[in-house]
Amino acid sequence: MAELRLERVTKKYDSEVYGAHDITFDIKDKEFTVLVGPSGCGKTTTLRLIAGLEACDSGKIFIDGSCVNDVSPKDRDVAMVFQNYALYPHMSAYDNMAFGLRMRRYPKKEINERVNEAAQILGISELLQRKPRQLSGGQRQRVAVGRAIVRQPKVFLFDEPLSNLDAKLRVQMRAELSRLHRRFEATIVYVTHDQVEAMTLGEKIIVINEARVQQVADPTSLYQRPKNRFVAGFIGSPPMNFIAGAIKKRQGKITFHSADVNIGLNKRTEHCTNREVILGIRPTDFFHTRGSKINIVVDVVEPMGNEFYIHGRCGTTMLSARLPDEMQTTIGSVVTLAIDPKKIYIFDAKTEENLI
Ligand SMILES: Nc1ncnc2c1ncn2[C@@H]1O[C@H](COP(=O)(O)OP(=O)(O)OP(=O)(O)O)[C@@H](O)[C@H]1O
Ligand SMILES: [Mg+2]
Whose C-alpha lies nearest to ligand 1, atom 31?
Answer: 40
Q: Indicate which atom in ligand 1 lies nearest the CA of residue 83.
A: 27
Residue 246 pLDDT: 96
Give me Rg for the CA atoms of the chain: 24
Cα 152 to middle of ligand 2, angstroms: 23
Give the helix/strand (H/E) hosting 195. Answer: helix 195-201
- Taking the C-alpha atoms of residue 80 and residue 176, their distance in angstroms, rounded to an integer, is 18
Ion ligand 2 contact residues with beta carbon within 5 A: 44
Find out whether the beta carbon of 42 lies less than 6 Å from any atom of ligand 1: yes
| pLDDT tens by residue, 258-305 | 999 999 999 999 999 999 999 999 999 987 677 889 999 999 999 888
Residue 5 pLDDT: 97
Residue 288 pLDDT: 67
Find out whether the beta carbon of 300 lies less than 6 Å from any atom of ligand 1: no
Cα 47 to middle of ligand 2, angstroms: 9
Burial class (CB in 10 A: 0-12, 13-18, 19+), 318: middle
Q: Edge-to-edge strands of the sheet including 58-63? A: 18-27, 4-12, 58-63, 66-67
Whose C-alpha lies nearest to ligand 1, atom 30?
Answer: 40
Cα angle 112, 182, 212; round to 5: 105
Neighbours of 76 (CB within 10 A): 19
Q: What are phi and psi of 140, to 5 degrees?
A: -60, -40
Find out whether the beta carbon of 19 lies less than 6 Å from any atom of ligand 1: yes
Residue 322 pLDDT: 92
Question: How far is C-alpha 126 from the geometric centre of its chain's CA atoms?
Answer: 33
Mutate which of 18, 21, 41 for ligand 1? The one with the most ligand atoms within 8 Å of its CB, which is: 41
SS (H, E, C) 297-314: EEEEEEECCCEEEEEEEE
Half-sphere exposure of 86 (CA within 13 A, CB side): 10
CATH topology of domain 4-233: Rossmann fold (3.40.50)
Q: Which residue, among 170, 186, 149, 151, has the nearest Cα to 32 in the 3D structure?
A: 186
Whose C-alpha lies nearest to ligand 1, atom 27?
Answer: 39
Q: Edge-to-edge strands of the sheet including 212-217? A: 78-81, 155-159, 187-192, 32-36, 204-209, 212-217
Residue 178 pLDDT: 85
Residues in the chain predicted with pLDDT less than 70, given as ranges, are 1, 288
> What is the value of pTM for the model shown?
0.91
User: Of the ligands numbered here, which is closest to the C-alpha atom of 38?
Assistant: 1
Q: 238-348 sits in which CATH class?
A: mainly beta
Q: Would you say the C-alpha torsion 147, 153, 159, 161 has a positive or negative sign?
A: positive
Cα–Cα distances in angstroms (integers) from residue 13 to residues 57, 58, 73, 319, in the given order: 10, 13, 20, 38
Find out whether the beta carbon of 291 lies less than 6 Å from any atom of ligand 1: no
Cα 38 to middle of ligand 2, angstroms: 9
The amino acid at residue 175 is A
- Taking the C-alpha atoms of residue 196 and residue 60, their distance in angstroms, rounded to an integer, is 31
The amino acid at residue 54 is E
Cα 214 to middle of ligand 2, angstroms: 18
Segments making up each domain of the chain, as ranges: 4-233, 238-348
Find out whether the beta carbon of 45 lies less than 6 Å from any atom of ligand 1: yes
